[in-house]
Chain A
Amino acid sequence: MCLSIPSKVIAIDENNYATVETLGVKRGVTLDLIPEKVEVGEYVLIHVGFAMEKIDTKAALESIEVYKQIAKQMEEGDISELEGDMGLEDLRGKNGSN
């Protein structure tokens, strides 16, 4: 449910209406539903013509980093050691698990 796509904000007008870009495709969306101020260059999630939330790109990059580490360790075959010593939960901790 709820098709929603990350898009980069490339312009914002005085009516809080933004132009956003997804893989080279631009469209207009209203920022009315986002509680905080949105800046050009930030990423938002788009659903039916609305930006519904900002995307925390730092969190996104951090999680990708965690996955890359997992991939690297899987490749090097030391994942079992990892399980024993620090465990994935710890790795994940950086990304913040509840």
Chain B
Amino acid sequence: MKNILLSHGGGGEEMNELINELIFKYFDNEILKETNDSAILKIDGEIAFSTDSYVVTPIFFSGGDIGKISVCGTINDLCMVGAKPLYLSVGFIIEEGLSFDEFEKILSSMSKIAKENDVKIVCGDTKVVPKGKCDKIFINTSGIGKIIHKIETKNIKNRAKILISGDIARHGSVIVAARDEINLESDLKSDCRSLKDIVMALFENNIYPQAMRDATRGGLSAVLNEWANFNKIEILLNEESIKVQDEVMGICELLGFEPYDLANEGTFVLAIDEKDSKKALEILKNFNENASIIGEVISDKNSRVILKNPYGVKRFLEYPKGELLPRIC
């Protein structure tokens, strides 16, 4: 099996070979092929610009891989502010010894998602580091999108309805279950996906949310607490309306986690004017039947998130704290 060596990052012939024969094979477009030091782009109007780095272990998981996440993640960040994603940059940091096969699989899923979303990967960088200096492969993607309808966190109003685009915590559960020392088996798949089609479907139906945020690291609790703190609003959630798959509950029960704290990679939270909320829900349900209205903004005084459980008892939904460690006790 052919592996990536330090020399592939050395800037010489091997590196050229890696880029021309492998990377260009997958990320093929006119702008990239110009091989200028920078991509030259032409965009009218307001743009959105975002970046994120991806360091997931394992790099291949049920429902996706690090390549798919790295493209979906930046696409989603752009969509969340109401932009149509156009161009991406990609930076690879590769640990020597990664097989060409694995790298090719990653490139292939990046290219597939980019094509499906009509996004061009227009510039990039590859570094190879010695064994042990990184974990197989780290990927950074940055992206530029054209604003279709600007959506900003600061616009959340009192009485807004809070919606979620699907059931929660699947990605986080898949990743934690796959850890060597935990090793839980299930049919669960990560929710990893691009949100572009969903957001565009909302826009096409003249639904313009007050705010949107994909609930990645830190899960639902992190997003809502950020919103509550930033806007000084109080959010009341109805626990029963937040859908969680059985397997996700199983993983949470076994390890002492709460699904609200676990990551999603293709599920987003929306704050929507009450009059649009039913229509928005209908559209969201076309993509995931577990989408639901999970709560509302109930005051513009306190910065807090309250969860009402099925028994009518209220408690705080806190920010997730620290490293996610399985509880034994």
Contact = CB atoms under 8 A, between A and B. Distances in A.
Contact of B249 (A2, A23, A26): A23
B329 A26 contact: no
Contacts, number: 43
Contacts of B186: 24-26
A60 interface: no
B246 A26 contact: no
A24 B183 CA distance: 14
A25 B184 contact: yes
Interface stretch (B23-31, B32-40, B150-158, B251-259): B251-259
A18 interface: no
Interface in A1-45: 1-3, 5, 22-28
Contacts of B254: 5, 22, 25, 27, 46
Given A3-B256, A5-B253, A24 B328 contact: no
Interface string B311-327: 00000000000000001
A47 interface: yes
A1 B327 CA distance: 9
B116 interface: no
How extensive is the interface on chain B, given as a class? 10 to 19
A25 B250 contact: yes
Contacts of A3: 256, 327-329
Interface in B183-240: 183-188
Given A46-B254, A47-B328, A24 B246 contact: yes
B135 interface: no
A48 interface: yes
Nearest to B187: A24
A23 B253 contact: yes
B300 interface: no
A2 B251 CA distance: 16
Interface of A: 1-3, 5, 22-28, 46-48
Given A22-B250, A24-B250, A27-B254, 12 more contacts: A2-B329, A3-B329, A5-B254, A23-B249, A24-B186, A24-B247, A25-B177, A25-B188, A25-B247, A25-B250, A26-B185, A27-B184
